């Protein structure tokens, strides 16, 4: 049995989706009162790669590549 405590909103054409909790920002580490929680599902800037089994795997490789590209532009 699986329990889903969140609602998933999707954009037309498969362009993206958003996981909604009981309040705005819950899944991104915001408490109801707006303070920061110590746990989150995802946060701004996170990058996920979908594997062949449909799992979203968090990846820092994309962020590292972007940072390297940006630092090379400054030289």
Same domain, 18 and 54: no
* pLDDT, tens digit, 9 for 90 and up, residues 55-75: 988 888 877 777 877 887 776
Q: Is the pLDDT of residue 13 over 80?
A: yes
Total Cβ atoms within 10 A of residue 40: 14
pTM value > 0.95? no
Cα distances (Å, whole numbers) of residue 62 to 15, 66, 74: 19, 6, 19
Same domain, 37 and 56: no
Same domain, 26 and 53: no
- 16 touches 26 (CB < 8 A): no
- Quickly tell me which residue has 């498969």 as its tokens: 14
Q: Which pLDDT belongs to residue 4?
A: 67
Average pLDDT, the chain: 85
Same domain, 35 and 50: no
Q: Which pLDDT belongs to residue 32?
A: 93
- Boundaries of domain holding 2: 1-44
Q: Which pLDDT belongs to residue 15?
A: 92
Instruction: Report how far residue 24's alpha carbon sits from residue 29's, in angstroms, rounded to the nearest whole number.
Output: 10
């Amino acid at each position: 049995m699986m329990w889903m405590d969140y609602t998933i909103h999707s954009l037309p054409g498969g362009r993206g989706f958003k996981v909604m909790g009981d309040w705005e920002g819950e899944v991104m580490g915001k408490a109801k009162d707006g303070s920061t929680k110590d746990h989150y599902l995802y946060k701004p800037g996170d990058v996920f790669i979908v594997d062949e089994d449909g799992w979203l795997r968090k990846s820092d490789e994309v962020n590292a590549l972007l940072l390297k590209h940006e630092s090379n532009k400054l030289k």
